[in-house]
Amino acid sequence: MPKEYTSEDLVAIWEEFLGGQEMRHKVNEIADFYPEVRSLYVDFADVEMHDPDLANYTLAKPTVSVQSAEEAMRRMVSHALTSPYIHFRIRNLPRDSRIDIRKLRAKHLETFVSVEGLVRKATEVRPRVTVAEFECMRCGARLFVEQEGMQFREPLECSKDEGGCGRGSGSTRFRLLTEKSLFVDTQKVEIQEPPEGLRGGSQPERLVGFVEDDISGRISPGDRLIINGMLKSHQKGTQTKSTLFDLTLDINSIEYEEHEYEEIVITPEDEMKIRQFAKSPDVLEKIVASISPTIYGYLQEKEALALQLFGGVSKEMDDGTHIRGDIHIAMIGDPGTAKSQILRYMAMLAPRGIYTSGKSASAAGLTAAAVKDEFGEGRWTLEAGALVLADKGLACIDELDKMNDQDRSSIHESLEQGTISVAKAGITATLQSRCAVLGAANPKYGRFDENRNIAEQIDLPPALLSRFDAIFTMTDRPDSVYDQSVASHILKVHRRGEIRLHESPEKIPDMDARAIMSDTEILVPAMDIEFLRKYVAFSKRITPVLSAEAMSTLETYYVTIRKLGEGEESSVPITARQLEALIRLAESSARARLSVIVTAEDAERAIKIVEYYLNKVASEGGRRDIDLIATGTSRSQREQIYVLRSLVQQLADERRGVSLEELIQKAASDNITEERVRALVKRLSDAGEVYSPQPGYYKLASEERMA
Ligand code: ADP
Ligand code: MG
């Protein structure tokens, strides 16, 4: 049981603590700079060292204790003219006070707790009245009413004690003197549990907190913080009061995490193991073998996913230009090709990984939103979406093609600059979203059609697609050799899963369970997942630099491929965006070995990945054409569009236009198939360039547009 104190005792004890030379100096300094500086920050350990009883009391009864400390400060620095109100803020509470949001219980009410979390929502900063000054409309007396909580309180009577006329609120009116009343800045925030603490895909729990005065406005959505404060209860319901109470936190102090991945503790022994592992010749192979081992195949894809974990180097140039290091990967595939499974696995594996769907139900969606709802109590609230919550981590976005329009327009900024800007109503904010993105989507018509160009069937805007460093397509076509391997793999996965549930597998009749288990060792991740996560977190401390050989390897590749596009009839085979993707992939390959030097082999590995995917998505009839992803239209398609448009122009009859049949017939001499004519006519009419004066006939929408 903590020691009890009378309030006068408590102030005296705090005065003693603050009277020490160092503290006294700090308090006086704050008083000198008041009101620019309004808070004294104290380490909990200092209080504990000075007086353990006082420290314990403060944890148990923080509200009175902090108020007494503030009173003690006021006595120290009050002068005849000014009486600064300095806040007393305590940081670095003991480990015991660190409570997970989901473990907060009634016994924690009114105590000092420390919670770690991610800021999901933060309102605008708005003033709250703390002491309202009123004037009695009958006698002119001035009355003061202290305001607490959200309900505004008016005087009940014009109190004679305060020199008033004694009339009750029924026989006089009170006028609020806004300019005479005292206000304080406030902000309401919502914190959610950090994703790494969540087990088995459970939903993160949330806690509402209030900040006041000088520390309001410093918290923005997406921040990772430790907040210390008094846990309060708040009665539910506004009209009819309920016996249920909600928990809220009156925030006393905020601590920011200083280092990246602080949630992953790496001990000196860990570091030794990590450095040892980095020396093995097959580092990347082992990591690849730890990525979704229950999923058969996809070796090249898994290698790219392994590199994504490490990431390239994000750079700040001399002129202030920022170049991203995050590697973004898109997987476009037929249903049932294990995309979702892989995404969920990567979200689990990556430090600060988040799994979400493009169809997200929250207002913030994937990016962020400014909303005016119940939470803000009349204020605008800025709410972070998945890409902000995954800052400095990996955002795995399933069903990327189903995202809403707002996300569609703001996701580019996140992918390229690592920020998301919100400008709506009074709110203009830029939130950080420096995360790598692993996106998955289905083909436009649900399944890839082998006879059509793959790129045409990807239902993502080209401007978005071309920001991905690698785009993998996964087609699911019956193929007896492959099917047999997948089937046998999946069956093994299930049998192993069944045996794992048996406490004594040797007792399963007619089965050599031990042999089965050892035969399926390949389904066990090659590395301990916890260790892999530490390894990835540690690797971020390494900043690889391109070697001369790596540079010339990448340069030669780029220039050679570009040369293919030099002829007049040729397409653009690759752009500088792919060169940057190559650099990032090569850097991450070096990082995976904890190597400061990017070698020629790292560059080769990057080239292999880019070649692999470009071959599938950016080639048409054996010819490489990056415009398939960069603009959504290949060179040959573009040419066909021109041909078709001029056919419409030439053949269209003034009144009726030209029939589809005639177009198909004439286009055949330009080697354009019937199917393509139909598709291109649809495209032209979708774009508003042609219209139908009557069904089946087409005409150019406007002659001027052709010019
Ligand atoms: P998608 O999201 O691509 O539609 P899912 O991730 O839902 O596909 O996969 C469907 C199921 O098929 C999953 O249970 C997955 O494990 C299994 N599966 C698909 N392809 C493979 C594969 N190559 N190896 C093992 N299992 C697979
Ligand atoms: Mg899926």
Residues 341, 296: contact at Cβ < 8 Å?
Answer: no
- Over range 642-655, report the average pLDDT: 82
Residue 339 alpha carbon to ligand 2 centre in Å: 6
- Range name among 310-319, 541-550, 696-705 with the lowest pLDDT average: 696-705
Pocket lined around ligand 1, Cβ cut-off 6 Å: 295-297, 333, 335-341, 486, 489-490
Question: Is it the case that residue 156 has pLDDT exceeding 90?
Answer: no
Same domain, 563 and 641: no
Nearest-CA residue for atom 25 of ligand 1: 295
The residue to mutate among 337, 342, 522, having the most atoms of ligand 1 within 8 angstroms of its beta carbon, is 337
Residues in the chain: 707
The string over 35-45, giving b where at least 16 C-beta atoms fall within 10 Å of a residue's C-beta and e elsewhere, is eeebebebebe
> Residue 108 falls within a domain, yes or no?
yes
The residue to mutate among 298, 356, 482, 490, having the most atoms of ligand 1 within 8 angstroms of its beta carbon, is 490
> Residue 383 falls within a domain, yes or no?
yes
Residue 422 alpha carbon to ligand 2 centre in Å: 30
Ligand nearest, relative to CA of residue 489? 1
CA distances from 124 to 221, 311, 334, 421, 707 (A): 11, 35, 44, 15, 51
Tokens 């009940």, residue located: 156
Q: CA torsion 44→46→51→56, rounded to 10°?
A: 10
Peptide bond connecting 35 to the previous residue in cis, omega within 30 degrees of 0? yes
At residue 707, the 3 state secondary structure works out as: coil
Structure tokens at 620: 């048409």
> Residue 348 falls within a domain, yes or no?
yes
Last residue of a domain, one of 92, 118, 140: 92
Same domain, 559 and 589: yes
Same domain, 618 and 647: no
Same domain, 140 and 246: yes
Same domain, 675 and 571: no
Same domain, 610 and 654: no
Question: Is it the case that residue 477 has pLDDT exceeding 50?
Answer: yes
Q: Which atom of ligand 1 is nearest to the CA of 297?
A: 23
Which segments of 230-320 does DSSP mark as H helices, in order?
268-278, 283-288, 299-310
For residues 287 and 562, the model is more confident at 287
| Planar angle of CA 607, 611, 615, nearest 5 degrees | 175
Last residue of a domain, one of 73, 92, 111: 92
- Over range 100-105, report the average pLDDT: 89
Same domain, 665 and 687: yes
What residues contact 609, with CB distance under 8 A and at least 6 apart?
Answer: 300, 303, 304, 307, 470, 585
> Residue 485 falls within a domain, yes or no?
no
Report how far residue 72's alpha carbon sits from residue 88's, in angstroms, rounded to the nearest whole number.
10
- Res 462: pLDDT: 78
Kind and range of the H or E element at 212? Answer: strand 206-212
Residue 624 alpha carbon to ligand 2 centre in Å: 29
pLDDT tens digits for 446-459?
888 777 777 777 87
Report the candidate in 589, 623, 621, 617 with the shortest Cα–Cα distance to residue 603.
589
Reported confidence tier of residue 346, pLDDT bands at 50, 70, 90 = very high
Question: Is it the case that residue 131 has pLDDT exceeding 90?
Answer: no
- Res 526: pLDDT: 84
> Residue 262 falls within a domain, yes or no?
no
- Res 623: pLDDT: 65
pLDDT tens digits for 389-426?
888 899 999 999 888 888 888 888 899 888 988 887 77
- Res 201: pLDDT: 53
Residue 341 alpha carbon to ligand 2 centre in Å: 7
Beta strands in 15-154, from DSSP E residues, in sequence order: 39-43, 87-91, 112-123, 126-136, 142-146
Residue 294 alpha carbon to ligand 1 centre in Å: 10
Q: Which atom of ligand 1 is nearest to the CA of 343?
A: 6
**CATH number for the domain including 466?**
3.40.50.300
Question: Is it the case that residue 542 has pLDDT exceeding 90?
Answer: yes
Reported confidence tier of residue 174, pLDDT bands at 50, 70, 90 = confident
DSSP-derived pairing of the beta strands 545-546 and 597-598: parallel
Same domain, 55 and 134: no
Same domain, 108 and 226: yes
> Residue 515 falls within a domain, yes or no?
no
Which segments of 279-372 does DSSP mark as H helices, in order?
283-288, 299-310, 339-349
Same domain, 468 and 333: yes
pLDDT tens digits for 570-592?
566 677 888 999 999 999 999 99
Ligand nearest, relative to CA of residue 400? 2
- Res 198: pLDDT: 61
- Res 572: pLDDT: 61
- Over range 359-380, report the average pLDDT: 80
- Res 91: pLDDT: 94
**CATH number for the domain including 17?**
3.30.1640.10
**CATH number for the domain including 241?**
2.40.50.140
Residue 406 alpha carbon to ligand 2 centre in Å: 22
> Residue 202 falls within a domain, yes or no?
no
pLDDT tens digits for 523-537?
888 889 999 999 999
Same domain, 24 and 168: no
Residue 334 alpha carbon to ligand 2 centre in Å: 9
- Res 504: pLDDT: 86
**CATH number for the domain including 550?**
1.10.8
Residue 601 alpha carbon to ligand 2 centre in Å: 34
Residue 699 alpha carbon to ligand 2 centre in Å: 42
Q: Which atom of ligand 1 is nearest to the CA of 298?
A: 23
Question: Is it the case that residue 195 has pLDDT exceeding 70?
Answer: yes
Ligand nearest, relative to CA of residue 398? 2
Q: Which atom of ligand 1 is nearest to the CA of 474?
A: 3
Structure tokens at 670: 């330009």
Ligand nearest, relative to CA of residue 402? 2
> Residue 512 falls within a domain, yes or no?
no
Q: Which residues surround ligand 2, an ion (CB under 5 A)?
A: 340
- Res 707: pLDDT: 39
Which of 175-189, 635-649, 667-681 has the largest mean confidence? 175-189
Same domain, 37 and 178: no
The residue to mutate among 341, 491, 522, having the most atoms of ligand 1 within 8 angstroms of its beta carbon, is 341
Structure tokens at 3: 């020691």
- Res 644: pLDDT: 82
Report how far residue 413's alpha carbon sits from residue 393's, in angstroms, rounded to the nearest whole number.
17
pLDDT tens digits for 17-71?
998 888 899 988 888 888 888 899 999 999 999 999 999 999 999 999 999 999 9
pLDDT tens digits for 244-261?
778 889 999 999 876 666
431 lies in which domain range? 299-306+322-477
Last residue of a domain, one of 613, 630, 647: 630
- Res 672: pLDDT: 81
- Over range 317-341, report the average pLDDT: 93
- Res 705: pLDDT: 42
Domain total of the chain:
5
- Res 553: pLDDT: 94
**CATH number for the domain including 696?**
1.10.10.10
